[in-house]
Amino acid sequence: MERRELLAGLAGSALIGTEVRSAAVSNSFLELKAWRLHNTAESQPSRISDFLAHGLAPALARSGSTLAGAFSTAIGPDSPCYYTLAKYDSLGAFEVSLSKLNADSEYQTQLEKLGSGVGLPFVRVESSILRSFDVMPQPAIPSDAGKQPPRIFELRTYESQTFLTLKRKVGMFNHGEAQIFERLGLRPVFFGETIIGPRQPNLMYMLSYDDLAARDRLWHDFGADAEWKKLRTTHGLTDPEIVANISNLILNPLAFSPIR
């Protein structure tokens, strides 16, 4: 197989080896937003869902970016809450997209519609900017999402003790942990290091499963895996050395979400 064919094949895979990453595809930047809502006569969940589907998603596409995913909290605090994942090719592309959104008359009309209903459309919006890992520089956005039954998703946040210990944990994912996930069938959606956002230093990643029973089985298999046991007990890579706290959410995709 020629080198260009090898790189093309790797670029289409979920995970890309770091030794060929720079030649294959660049790291993307992800904006993860939490839309904090409440259940009242203001109908915040339906108003935000309508805005995301008919306002934000098409506006991002017109700006050259992508609304990769939209989710609701199934298990986690502060429900109801929606999460959106937007993808940008670079920080420069992110800036261009913001400028285009500000000048987009259709998008501005949707913003006016969102704020014109009874009461308030949301409680608060929180945002984090993530730089994708070398092992998975682009999020996994299926091309046939509408033909597949919706999965469940797990969003995990790992806080680290220092920026140097976070670097070691990111390296652990790039050089072993993410590959074990894929081998065992824990399907990664994205991996990202938070560069702007709360609770730093931290990283976030998302996995998908067919259902909760599959999640329980896959995590059991992961915990029992010999390669993982060896990696997690390596000096300098144990949880007490590089992971201060882990939190997670179980999410369901919204009907219009490309990742579903």
Shared domain for 124 and 148, answered yes or no, is no
Residue 259 is assigned to a structural domain of this protein? no
Q: pLDDT by residue (tens digit) across 90-108?
A: 999 999 999 999 999 999 9
Residue 140 is assigned to a structural domain of this protein? yes
Shortest CA distance to 192 belongs to which of 53, 31, 24? 31
Q: Which H or E run includes 4?
A: helix 3-11
pLDDT level of residue 145 (50, 70, 90 thresholds): low
pLDDT level of residue 201 (50, 70, 90 thresholds): very high
Residue 19 is assigned to a structural domain of this protein? no
Domain termination residue (choose one: 84, 104, 131): 131
pTM: 0.90
What is the model's pLDDT at position 149? 81
Q: Which domain holds residue 40?
A: 28-131
Residue 130: CA atoms inside 13 Å, Cβ hemisphere, count? 29
Q: pLDDT by residue (tens digit) across 216-232?
A: 999 999 999 999 999 99
The answer for residues whose C-beta is within 8 angstroms of residue 4's C-beta and 6 or more apart is none
CATH number at residue 33: 3.30.70.100
What is the model's pLDDT at position 78? 87
Q: pLDDT by residue (tens digit) across 21-52?
A: 445 679 999 999 999 999 999 999 999 999 99
The answer for residues whose C-beta is within 8 angstroms of residue 175's C-beta and 6 or more apart is 18, 135
**DSSP code for 198:** S
List, in sequence order, every residue forming a beta bridge with 125; answer none if it has no partner: 35
What is the model's pLDDT at position 227? 98
Cα–Cα–Cα angle for 61, 136, 26, rounded to 5 degrees? 60
* Number of domains into which the chain is organized: 2
